[in-house]
Each structure stands twice: as C-alpha cells, then as structure tokens.
Amino acid sequence: MRGRFLSAAVVLGSAVATAAVAAEGQATKAGLPQLDPSTFAPQLIWLAITFAALYFLMSRVALPRVAEVLETRADHINDDLRRAEEARTEAEAVMQAYEKALVDARNKARAEAVQATDFAKQAAEERERAAGATLAQEASEADARITQAKSEALGRVRSVAAEVAAAAAKRLGGFDVDAGKAQAAVDATFGGRA
C-alpha cells in the first residue's frame, strides 16, 4: 500500500517539476501556454499519465475502500431489517397470545357468571320453597287457631244466648227457666251448627 502511494507521489512530483520547467520556458511567450500548438503533444502525454495514475489510485485504493464501507453498511442494514422482522414476528405472536388469553378470560367469566346465576336461582328457589313451607305451616296453624277460637266463641255465644234467653223469659214471662233447658233450646235453635 505504501509502495503505491510512493509511486503515485513520484509520478505527481515529476509532473509538477516538468510543468514548472515548461512554465519557465513559456514565460517569455505571450498568451495561454495550453493553447500553444507546439505544446499539445506533451500536454496529451501528461494527461494520459495523470489519468492512468488517478485511475490506478482510484481502482486500487479508494474504490475498494468505498465498496467495503458500502458492503459493511448494507450488512448492517440487512441485519437491522432481519432483527426488525424477528421483532415484528415476535410481537405478532405475543399479540395473538394476548388475544387468545383475552378470549379465554371472557369465556371463563361468562361461564362463571352463568354458574353464579344458576347458583343464585337455586338458592332463591330453595328460600322460596322454605318460605312457602313455613307460610303453609303458619297458615294451617292459624286456621287451627281460628277454628278453635270460632268453636270457643260459638260455645260462649251459646252459653251467653242461653243466659240471655233465661233472663229474657224471667223478665218477659216472669218465670225462671232452668239453665239446662235454656241451653237445650239454644242448641235446638242453632241446629247443631258450629
């Protein structure tokens, strides 16, 4: 590599020296030296030498480095694209897993809600049955108490009616009626109705 730069420097140095010598000789002439037809041949030779040296330097030194940099950059870009694709794939997998978990959670919540509703219905039905049974028992007990109270009240009404009949016969008729006869008369009037 150093040898190339050294040879390129030698070529360029000799070109500069030759150009300086030519410029000294041309200083006496008037006008632009590159337009002097007597100097066309050396100018063309130096153009070819300079072009060849620059071509050599560019093709052997500069362009391979540029190509290497471009290749490295392309590798980095491709690597970044590959990692981005992997991350996108992984993100899609995570999103699908999240959506599946969300659907599973919703289904589980629905099932638990149905189960809780069924349990609440069963508990309500059991409470209703128990309350119905309690109410039926209380109603039958109340009916029994009412029947007993009615019987007692009728018994009292009959005895009171017998007493009233005896008192009325004494007051209206002026005679005493036996309590047993008055009770028999009242029982006959009620006809054995409860």
Q: Please check whether residue 126 lies inside any domain of the structure.
A: no
**Domain coverage including residue 24:** 2-85
Predicted local confidence at residue 88, as pLDDT: 95
Q: What is the pLDDT of residue 65?
A: 93
C-alpha span between 17 and 51 (Å, rounded): 17
Domain boundary among 35, 54, 85: 85
Looking at the structure of the chain, the number of domains it has is 2
Identify whether 71 is part of a domain. Answer: yes
Query: Is residue 116 one of the residues assigned to a domain?
Result: no
Classify burial at 182, counting beta carbons within 10 Å of its beta carbon; exposed 0-12, middle 13-18, buried 19 or more: buried
Mean pLDDT over residues 22-40, rounded?
Answer: 70
Q: Which of 27, 60, 85 is the last residue of a domain?
A: 85
Does 156 fall in a domain? yes
Q: Residues 130-144: pLDDT tens digits?
A: 999 999 998 888 888
- Considering the domain boundaries, does residue 29 fall inside one? yes
Distances (CA, A) of 120 to 63, 105, 109, 125, 128: 83, 22, 16, 8, 12
Q: What is the pLDDT of residues 32-86, one digit of tens each?
A: 877 888 888 999 999 999 999 999 999 999 999 999 999 999 999 999 999 999 9
pLDDT single digits (tens) 184-194? 877 777 765 54
Q: Residue 127 falls within a domain, yes or no?
A: no
**Which among 64, 85, 106 is the end of a domain?**
85
In a domain, 121, yes or no: no
pLDDT band at 124 (very low <50, low <70, confident <90, very high): very high
Q: Measured over all CA atoms, what is the biggest interatomic distance in the chain, rounded to whole angstroms? A: 192
Q: Is residue 109 part of a domain?
A: no
